[in-house]
Amino acid sequence: MALAVEREFIGAGCNRIVNNVSWGRSGLVAFGAQNAVAIFCPQSAQILTTLPGHKAVVNCTQWLPSRKDAFKVQHAEVHYLLSGSSDGVLIVWEMDLKKREWRSILQVSEIHKKGVTCLSGLIISQTMAMFASASSDGLVVIWELVLPYATLRDCKISCLESLSVGSKPMVALSLADLPGESGHVILAMGGLDQKIHIYLGDWKGNFVRACELKGHTDWIRSLDFSLPVCLDSENESILLASSSQDRSIRIWKMAMCLSSSNSQVPYKKDERIDLTSYIEGPLFLAGSISYQVSLESLLVGHEDWVYSVEWEPPFINGSKAHQPMGILSASMDKTMMIWRPEKNTGIWVNVVTVGELSHSALGFYGGHWAPDGESILAHGYGGSFHLWRNTGMDCENWQSQKVPSGHFASVSDIAWARNGEYLLSVSHDQTTRVFASWNSEGDKTSWHEIARPQVHGHDINCVAIIQGTGNHRFVSGADEKVARVFEAPLSFLKTLKHAVQKSICFEDINEDVQILGANMSALGLSQKPIYVHANTDTPGRLQSDASDSLETVPDAVPTVFTEPPIEEQLLWHTLWPESHKLYGHGNELFSLCCDHEGKLVASSCKAQSATVAEIWLWQVGSWKPVGRLQSHNLTVTQLEFSHDDAFLLSVSRDRHFSIFSIGKSRETGHHLIAKREAHKRIIWACAWNPFGHEFATGSRDKTVKIWAVDGSSSVKQLSILPLFHDSVTALAWVGREHSINSGILAVGLDDGLIELWSVSGGRTAAGRDSEPSAFSAVLSIRFDPVLCHVSTVLRLAWRERCTGDSSAMELASCGADQSVRVFKVCDR
C-alpha cells in the first residue's frame, strides 16, 4: 500500500543563544532549533521547514543578502543562508524564492575547531559575496563566496584570511563597505576584551588592523554598521552601533576626510561645545581617504545586559538605499527599545519601548527589524519569539502579533485528546503545552499553541490524557517522585470551542465546571485554582504594578481567547489547576498511560532494582493505588493498555516485555501472564494493534518484533521486521480495515527519521477461534529527512477522530530536537 505524507505543523522553540536569529530580505526568519535550522514566516506565524545538516547545536544564522545590502541584488530569485554550529561547522543553504525550495550547497568544517559564535555577511555583486565568522577558538575567518550563476551551478567558497585574536575570543562582528573608494571593506569585531577592533581590507581579504575603540567596560555583545550617511552637510560617514554587558549602547562615527597623494589633511575639530559635540577618536587611512573616528552618542536606558543592537533597514529608491536614523536594541531587562535622534537637538533618545510588562521572558537575547521596518522581533530566554508591528497611522503604535512557539528542550512525550481536538506535549523545558488546529474565518486552519497547562520546576518526562467521559484531565510525571493530575478550567474549554468550531465533534462544555483557571505558586511546583465567583482585583493590580521583580509571581487572569494567544498570555493566563498528587514511587517518574475506559492509570519510575521498578495502578477519580505489579528489574520505559483494556503491556531497560491481565473487578485482580526477553538491547517502545491482541516492540538493537497474545496465558512471535539502520525509539499502530486486521505501524528512529509499515494478517480480535492468516509487514514509505526530526524520535501518536474518516490520518511525533510535528498521511 503506497502512502503519501505531507507536513502539517512544526512547533519548536528557539535556541537560547545570542546571534541565533536572522530576518532576511525575503521576509522569512531563520533560527536554530537544536541541531536544525528552522525557517518561519511571520505573516502566517508558522514554521515552514527545518533544515537537517548540522550535527551539533546551531549557534548563529545570517542571510545573504542581508536587509542592508539587498538593494544590490533587488531582483535575485535565489537567497542564501549561512549557519554555524557549536562543533565549528559552517553550512551554506540556497533558497529558491519562487519555488520555496531549499538545498544545502556547501559545508565547511576544517577551519574552526570550536563553536562558531557569530556571522556577518556582505553581498558584493550578483555572483560574489564575502562573510566573516568568529569562533571560540580565537579565530576570525574571512571567506569569499562565489555564488551560482548561468554557467556555474555550484557554489564555491574559499578562505581569504584567518585572523587570530588571542585567548579572548570575539563574539560580535560587522562587515560593511567603506564610503568613498570602491572595493574597501571595514570589519568591526568585539568580544571579551571590552574593545572594538577595526580592520580594513578589500574584496580579496588583505585585512590589517586599523585601530581600537575603547569605552565599554564589559563584554561587547553586538556590533552593526549603518549604510553610508551624510550628517550636517559633511562628507559621507559610516556609523557603528555597539552594545555591551555594561548596559550601554555607543554610536561611533567614521567620517571621511579627503587627502591627496596619501598625505593626511589636518582634521579640523568642531569648536562647538554642546550636548551633541563628539569625543575625537583615532584616525585611519584607507587608500587615499582618511577617516576620523568619533563617539557620536552614548545611549543609556537599559537596566541589564544589552545583547543586540541593529540599524533600521534602509529605504530603497531605485538602485540606491537611504539609511534611516533608527536603532533597535534588545536587553536582558525584558525590553526592546527603538532609539532615534531628536529633530531639533540631534540627541539620541528612546522613542519606543516594548516588552516591559512581559513576565514570560527572563530577558531578550536579540532583536531584529522586519525588512520594511514596520515590525520588530525578539527572541527570549524561554526559547520564545515576541513580535510587535507598528499599526499606527500618524504616530507609532506597536502591537503584539502572533508568532510560532514550541519547546526549547527535548520533548519527552505527547498525547492526543480523547477525540483528537488537541495535542498535548511535555518537555524537559519544564512545561506542558497544548497545540491545536485553529479554524479561522474563511475555512482557513492553522496550528497554534493555545494553552500552557503546566509550568513546572522539574523536567517533565511523561504524560497521559484521561480517557472516557467527563472533563478534560491529564496526569504528568516529572523528575520528582510525585505524579500530578490536572483538570481543564472553564476558560480553556471555551477557548477550545472557539478553536475547533465545528470541524471536530466537540462535547458540550460542562457548565458545572467552577474553576476558571489557575495561579502559579511562588516555588513553581503547584498550581492553585481560581474559582469562577472568586472576588479578585487582579487586573487592576497587574496594570498598576509595572515594576516586576524576580520575587514577584504575577497573578493569572484566565481569559477566553477568540484568536490564538501570544506568549505573554500563554505562560501565565492559560494554566490548569492541579487537582491531585499521586505519591508512591521511590524515584523520578518515567512512564504513564491510561486505559481506554478512563478508569485506570499506570505509572513507572526510574529504577535499578525489582522493588523500585514495580508498576503502580491508580483508580481514576479516587486516585487511590489499586495495584502494584512486579516483573522488571530496571526502568520500565513504556506502558500501554490493549484497546479492550484486557491487558497491560510494559517494556523495560532489562530487555524484557511483560503482559499483565487487568481484572475488571477487585476480585479478579491484576496478574502477570507472560514475560519474555525479547531483544538483545534496551526496549524503548511498544504499541498494540487496535483491532486485536497483537503488539510490536522496538529496541536499541535496531529491530521491531511483532507478537501476539495466544489465548490468555502465552505469547508467540509473529514476525520480525528487517533490520533498521539505527535504534528504534518510538512506535505507534493505527488500524485501517478490521476485516483483514490491517493497519499502519509508524517507526521512529534514533537519528530522527520515521518509517511507515503496512501490517496485516495474524489473529483478529473478532475471530480468535478461526485459523490465523499469515502476518505480513511491508514498508509503505520512508519520510523525507527534511520532514523529519534531526535528533531522536521520542514518541509517536496517531490522531483518533470521531468523524469516522479514515482516508486522511494524522501522525504526531516529538523528539530530542525540541520539536513537535504533525504529519498528514493518506493513500497515494
DSSP secondary structure, 24-45, as one string: -TTS-EEEEETTEEEEEETTTT
Taken in order 420, 426, 427, 429, is the CA torsion positive or negative? positive
Label residue 697 exposed, middle or buried (CB < 10 Å: 0-12, 13-18, 19+): buried
Residue 135, pLDDT score: 93
pLDDT higher than 80, residue 151: no
Cβ 692 vs Cβ 740: under 8 Å: no
Give φ, ψ of 717 to 5 degrees. -85, 130
Burial 355-365 (b: 16+ CB within 10 A, else e): beebebbebbb
What integer best gives the mean pLDDT of the chain?
Answer: 86
- Looking at 41-50, 99-108, 267-276, 812-821, which range is the least confident one? 267-276
CA distance 603 to 617: 7
Cβ 791 vs Cβ 34: under 8 Å: yes
Task: Using DSSP, state whether 608 is helix, strand or coil.
Answer: coil
Residue 232, pLDDT score: 66
- Mean pLDDT of the region 557-584: 88
CA distance 162 to 140: 6
Grid cell listed for 228: 553610508
Grid cell listed for 642: 490493549
Interior angle at CA 18, CA 15 and CA 20, nearest 5: 50
Residue 275, pLDDT score: 44
- Mean pLDDT of the region 795-808: 72
Residue 510, pLDDT score: 57
Residue 1, pLDDT score: 66
Task: Using DSSP, state whether 442 is helix, strand or coil.
Answer: helix
pLDDT band at 634 (very low <50, low <70, confident <90, very high): very high
| List of E strands, 679-750 | 683-688, 694-699, 704-710, 714-720, 728-737, 742-749
Integer angstrom CA distances of residue 726 from 635, 651, 704, 751, 811: 22, 19, 11, 7, 21
Task: Using DSSP, state whether 421 is helix, strand or coil.
Answer: coil
- Mean pLDDT of the region 261-271: 45
Q: What is the DSSP letter of 436?
A: E
Grid cell listed for 91: 553550512
CA distance 64 to 121: 7
- Looking at 346-355, 500-509, 619-628, 818-827, which range is the least confident one? 500-509
Residue 500, pLDDT score: 82
Which of 803 and 60 is assigned the larger pLDDT? 60
pLDDT higher than 70, residue 522: no
CA distance 603 to 607: 12
State which amino acid sits at residue 795. Answer: R
- Mean pLDDT of the region 304-310: 94
pLDDT band at 276 (very low <50, low <70, confident <90, very high): very low
Label residue 547 exposed, middle or buried (CB < 10 Å: 0-12, 13-18, 19+): exposed
β-bridge partners, 102: 95
Residue 765, pLDDT score: 45
Range among 103-107, 132-136, 271-275 rated most confident: 132-136
pLDDT higher than 80, residue 794: yes
Rg over alpha carbons for the chain, rounded to the nearest Å, is: 30
> Is the N-terminal amide bond of 489 cis, ω within 30° of 0?
no
Which of 175 and 357 is assigned the larger pLDDT? 175
* Structure-derived torsion over alpha carbons of residues 558, 514, 496, 426, reported in degrees to the nearest 10: 70
- Mean pLDDT of the region 717-745: 92
Cβ 822 vs Cβ 814: under 8 Å: no
Cβ 801 vs Cβ 504: under 8 Å: yes
CA distance 117 to 20: 9
Residue 668, pLDDT score: 60
pLDDT higher than 70, residue 782: yes
pLDDT band at 67 (very low <50, low <70, confident <90, very high): confident
pLDDT band at 180 (very low <50, low <70, confident <90, very high): confident
Integer angstrom CA distances of residue 152 from 147, 155, 784: 8, 8, 28
How many percent of the chain have pLDDT more than 70? 88
Contacts of the segment 533-541: beta carbons below 8 A, 24+ positions apart: none
State which amino acid sits at residue 519. Answer: N
- Mean pLDDT of the region 238-257: 92
Q: Which residue has the cell 474559582?
A: 531
State which amino acid sits at residue 386. Answer: H
β-bridge partners, 606: none
pTM for the predicted model, two decimal places: 0.90
- Mean pLDDT of the region 240-266: 77
Residue 596, pLDDT score: 92
Cα 142 to its chain centre, rounded Å, is 30
Cα 9 to its chain centre, rounded Å, is 13
CA distance 136 to 657: 47
Task: Using DSSP, state whether 569 is helix, strand or coil.
Answer: helix
Residue 394, pLDDT score: 75
- Looking at 68-82, 156-170, 511-525, 620-634, which range is the least confident one? 511-525
How many percent of the chain have pLDDT more than 90? 58
pLDDT band at 266 (very low <50, low <70, confident <90, very high): very low
Integer angstrom CA distances of residue 27 from 41, 97, 460, 469: 7, 10, 35, 46
pLDDT band at 152 (very low <50, low <70, confident <90, very high): low
Integer angstrom CA distances of residue 549 from 362, 368, 552, 553: 11, 26, 5, 8
Residue 440, pLDDT score: 74
For residue 351, the surrounding DSSP H or E stretch is strand 348-354
- Mean pLDDT of the region 74-78: 82
Integer angstrom CA distances of residue 135 from 163, 345, 531: 11, 41, 53
pLDDT band at 772 (very low <50, low <70, confident <90, very high): low
Instruction: Give per-residue pLDDT as tens, 426-442.
Output: 999 999 999 999 887 65
Task: Using DSSP, state whether 692 is helix, strand or coil.
Answer: coil
pLDDT higher than 70, residue 667: no
β-bridge partners, 249: 243, 299
CA distance 108 to 91: 6
Which of 151 and 170 is assigned the larger pLDDT? 170
- Looking at 32-36, 101-105, 239-243, which range is the least confident one? 101-105
